[in-house]
C-alpha cells in the first residue's frame, strides 16, 4: 500500500467550531507532515512528526493542534480558525531513516472557514 489517505475531502466550518483533519498511511513510514497550501502557492510546512514525536513546528498558531496517536495516524485539530486559514491541507509521510527522505502526499482536505 503506497497511499496516504486524508479525511474529509472537504470541510466547511465556522470560526467558533472545533473540527479535526485525519491522515493515515500504511507504508511503515515513521515521519509524517502537515502542510498548508493556498491557491497558486507551494505547500508550506506546518508540522513534522518523527517516531510519533513532534519534531518541527514552523511557528504555527495554537489554533492548529497536531496529534500523532500512532505511527500510522496523524490528526490536525482545528479550533477558532480565521477565514484566512481557508486552504488545502496536505498530509505527507516519509522514512526518516533513509539518506534521502522522499515524501508521499495525500490528496488533501479543502478547508473553508466562514
Partner 1 sequence: AQSVTQLDSQVPVFEEAPVELRCNYSSSVSVYLFWYVQYPNQGLQLLLKYLSGSTLVKGINGFEAEFNKSQTSFHLRKPSVHISDTAEYFCAAQNRGTSYGKLTFGQGTILTVHP
Under the rule (CB under 8 A), what is the footprint of partner 1? 4, 6, 31, 33, 40-43, 45, 48, 50, 55-56, 88, 90, 92, 94, 96, 99-108, 110
| C-beta of 79 vs 104, nearer to partner 1 | 104
Cβ at position 107, least distance to partner 1 in Å: 5
Looking at 4-107, list the stretches that DSSP marks H as alpha helix, in order from N- to C-terminal side. Answer: none
Q: How far apart are CA 22 and CA 75, in angstroms?
A: 5
Q: Cα(13)–Cα(98) distance, rounded to whole angstroms?
A: 38
- When the beta carbons of 5 and 82 are compared against partner 1, the nearer one is 5
Q: How many helices (H) and strands (E) does the chain have?
A: 0, 11
Shortest reach from residue 90's CB to partner 1, in Å? 6
How far is the CA of 95 from the CAs of 17, 33, 112, in angstroms? 34, 11, 31
Shorter beta-carbon distance to partner 1: residue 44 or 67: 44
CB of 16 to partner 1, least distance (A): 27
In sequence order, the β-bridge partners of residue 75 are 22, 67
Residue 72: closest CA among 48, 56, 93, 58: 93
Closer Cβ to partner 1, 9 or 62, answer by number:
9
Task: Give least dist CB 27 to partner 1, A.
Answer: 13
Amino acid at each position: 500500500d503506497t497511499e496516504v489517505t486524508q479525511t474529509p475531502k472537504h470541510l466547511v466550518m465556522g470560526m467558533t467550531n472545533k473540527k479535526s483533519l485525519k491522515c493515515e498511511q500504511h507504508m511503515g513510514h515513521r515521519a509524517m507532515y502537515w502542510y498548508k497550501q493556498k491557491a497558486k502557492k507551494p505547500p508550506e510546512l506546518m508540522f513534522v512528526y518523527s517516531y510519533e514525536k513532534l519534531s518541527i513546528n514552523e511557528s504555527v498558531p495554537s489554533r492548529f493542534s497536531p496529534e500523532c496517536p500512532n505511527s500510522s495516524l496523524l490528526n490536525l485539530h482545528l479550533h477558532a480558525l480565521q477565514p484566512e486559514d481557508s486552504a488545502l491541507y496536505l498530509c505527507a509521510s516519509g522514512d526518516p531513516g533513509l539518506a534521502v527522505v522522499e515524501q508521499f502526499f495525500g490528496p488533501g482536505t479543502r478547508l473553508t472557514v466562514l
